[in-house]
Amino acid sequence: MDNHGLADPFCKLNILPIDTVATTKRLRTKTIHKTRDPEFNEILNFYGTTETDIWNGKALHILILQDDPVDQDFLGEARFPLHELQPRQTKHYNVPLRDHYPVDNEEAAWGVCSSGRGQIQVSLSYCTRRRALTVTVHRATNLLPMDSNGFSDPFVKLCLIENVTNNHRQRVFDYSIARITAKKLVSKKITGRNSQSTTIKWKTLNPEWNEEFAFATRLTDLTKFTLYLTVWDKDFGKSNDYLGGLELSCNSKGARLRHWIDAIKFPDHRHRAWHNLTDTILPTE
């Protein structure tokens, strides 16, 4: 959901379990924007469904998701066994949404929801004693291979940027006033650079950093800022390759919005979450 408590829901439908990847019949509805009570009123046809499908224990699964180019957040699922249906008979259901029903071959059944650029795990915590937002970059998985050896040499850049308003142009957080402390969990170092970076992890698609960065700011000001994390493949003699990015703010949606809001609402607690990386080029300084 967005910061107004509204969602952009759509439905994915499939008859499961599937026999082979080639026989998947996944369909989807249109997206209904900015609502918590969507009305679709669509007729979707599963052509080729046979009596064998009905009596072999298959069921119609309806997955409700938040339409977001970065994360299609799960909102609920309903399941309808086909053996309850009769030929040429319309049956109406009014059922509560449930948790996700795990099935074999999830990727083939529902498709890939992420951008395909991998995921990153980060922790957010506002420290009232230090008066700073601390960001811990833990690890990333399934990054794109950008080098000829089949690996990448990934590192992460972080920056906190004030959101654009009518009265202020977008600007980088004032580092001359708010000192940034970047430290590894096992050792501490202080730096005054505008753009902060993790160390480089060589020849890996699943790097682990466990490095912490602190942005000195007031807690109430976090609603005005966006945290950008961008992942890069280190190259020498040419430009670094962009692997993916993540932005967290009050303008985010779904899991990214919840992660940011939790850090604001519950200071002095570490809030850890995984997020999909997007292919959108994001600011780095």
Q: Residue 21: give the domain boundaries.
A: 9-110
Closest C-alpha to 278, from 120, 50, 77, 164: 120
**Is residue 282 a part of any domain in this protein?**
no
**Is residue 284 a part of any domain in this protein?**
no
Do 264 and 165 have their domain in common? yes
Per-residue model confidence (pLDDT) at position 202: 95
Do 71 and 180 have their domain in common? no
CATH of the domain at 38: 2.60.40.150
Do 258 and 171 have their domain in common? yes
Q: Which of 110, 134, 163 is the last residue of a domain?
A: 110
**Is residue 263 a part of any domain in this protein?**
yes
**Is residue 200 a part of any domain in this protein?**
yes
Do 127 and 266 have their domain in common? yes
Q: Which of 50, 78, 110 is the last residue of a domain?
A: 110
Q: Which of 110, 139, 171 is the last residue of a domain?
A: 110
Do 127 and 191 have their domain in common? yes
Let me know: does 58 contact 16? Beta carbons within 8 Å.
Answer: yes
Do 105 and 43 have their domain in common? yes
Closest C-alpha to 161, from 178, 176, 173: 173
Do 211 and 153 have their domain in common? yes
pLDDT mean by block of 10 residues, the chain; 285 residues: 83 83 70 92 82 85 85 88 88 93 76 69 96 95 86 95 63 38 34 70 93 94 95 93 95 92 96 91 81
Per-residue model confidence (pLDDT) at position 121: 93
Torsion sign (Cα): 227, 233, 235, 239: negative
Do 92 and 192 have their domain in common? no
Looking at the structure of the chain, the number of domains it has is 2
Do 99 and 133 have their domain in common? no
**Is residue 264 a part of any domain in this protein?**
yes
**Is residue 2 a part of any domain in this protein?**
no
Structure tokens at 118: 């991998």
Per-residue model confidence (pLDDT) at position 22: 45
Per-residue model confidence (pLDDT) at position 69: 67
**Is residue 220 a part of any domain in this protein?**
yes
Do 145 and 90 have their domain in common? no
